[in-house]
Amino acid sequence: MDRPYAPPPPRNHLLAFLVRLVVSAGVLWIAVGWVSPGNPANTFGRAVLVSLVLSVAWFVTLVRFLWFLVLPWLLYVAIWLTVIMGTYDLGFASALLVALALAFLSWLVGAIFGIRTLRSA
């Protein structure tokens, strides 16, 4: 007989959030280092803060919930590019390369470890 679903305790949610935050920050850190080697603004602490900001933007722009609409996506892309370009002092083309590197690395982490980054939740 199947037991009814019981949600995990809140401690597990916090642990899952922290693991996903560290993975997201690590992927961002590697992606920026890959596109802009030697960038002095590319630190792990900054990557953690940027990951948090972009995760909040993901929910605030309603992309998480209204994924089928174009306007939330355009707004999120504009916020994403602005944050990445401003934080890491990158140009538009470099920020797009970071996005490509992030997409590839996030897919790789998901395929190998089964962990989704914060923005792919």
- Stated pTM of the model: 0.78
Range(s) of the domain holding residue 37: 10-120
Choice between 11 and 75, residue whose per-residue pLDDT is larger: 75
The Cα 100–Cα 104 span in angstroms is 6
Instruction: Say how far apart CA 7 and CA 85 lie, in whole Å.
Output: 39
103 within some domain: yes
d(CA 61, CA 64): 8
Residue 18 domain-assigned (yes or no): yes
pLDDT range class, residue 117, cuts 50, 70, 90: low
Using pLDDT thresholds of 50, 70 and 90, give the confidence band for residue 119: low
Average pLDDT over residues 87-115: 88
Distance CA 52, CA 105 (A): 18
In a domain, 57, yes or no: yes
| Domains of the chain: total | 1
Kindly state whether residue 73 falls inside one of the protein's structural domains: yes
Tokens of residue 46, six digits: 């900054």
The residue-averaged pLDDT of 7-17 equals: 71
Residue 3 domain-assigned (yes or no): no
The pLDDT assigned to 121 comes to 47
80 within a domain of the structure (yes/no): yes
Task: Note whether residue 34 is domain-resident.
Answer: yes
Asked whether residue 33 is assigned to any structural domain, the reply reads yes
